[in-house]
Amino acid sequence: MKMRLLLALAIAMLAPSGCADRTSGNSEADAAAGAGREDANFRYLARGVYEALLTESCPPNRTLPRARVLTPEIAAVRAFERRTGSGPARFHVEIARHDIAYRQASGALGCLDDSDRRFAALHVERARDRVRLGLREMETLAPGLTALPASLAALPPSRSAEFRSLVRTAVENLQPLCAGPDSDRILAPARAELARFRRRLEDTPYALHFDLARADGLYERSITVAECIDAAPRPAAEASRAALQETRGQIARIAAFARLGSPSRAARGS
């Protein structure tokens, strides 16, 4: 396979993008554009809203705590949460909120360099815009969302959020931003391995959270644009083995987190 190297930071767009033919190019991510796309889009927007509210300055800027400078935006989000009541939107909002809370608690949320006053002011305005525009789109999408089953609450929020984070890493690693023409064939064994693991989760509280994380990972890949350049080719068989080995390692971490036993070699199809 002729591998490609990510040249620039991928830019996630709020609107679905159909022009990333050079960088998406895998059928699984394209298929995700079907069922559940609006649900995934809603959660994506909601995560953006909570991220905007919680991403602070670094080093900490005493004049710009988000809890103070974004007071109207925080009030608007709380009002939206109350309006969702116990309907379908509430479940999706809670998923997004806990995902961002987990990222914040684990140190993965990051921060903004506000050492320059001009950039500091710009960051605050962008946060305000992100909340305002996000809530506006969420209001539009809310009536059409899918109701999630009560089993969603079977796991503590922090634990389900960490599980979803682990699954998303595994899913996104199999949807390369800079994909070559043979990517689907090369990644097929690793994707099949992840699909087999999903079947092991049936009748457990983790099954729904796996599906949510997978849908979110595929959705964000489908709206991400990246600039790629050609890099030195890697033998297809070698690339396929490496992807399978990496996926098996990620599955082992997810299984350990969910306290699942190890499958036999026969069950893995080895």
**Share of residues in the chain with pLDDT > 70 (%):** 81
Give the pLDDT confidence score for residue 31 in this predicted structure.
Answer: 39
Q: What are phi and psi of 32, to 5 degrees?
A: -65, -10
Cβ–Cβ < 8 Å for 188, 235 = no
pLDDT tens for 126-166 read 999 999 999 999 999 999 998 877 666 678 888 999 999 99
Note if the pTM is more than 0.85: no
Pick from 234, 116, 120, 212: which is nearest to 168 by CA?
A: 212
pLDDT score of 2 more than 50: no
Alpha-carbon torsion, ordered 260, 262, 266, 270, to 10 deg: 110
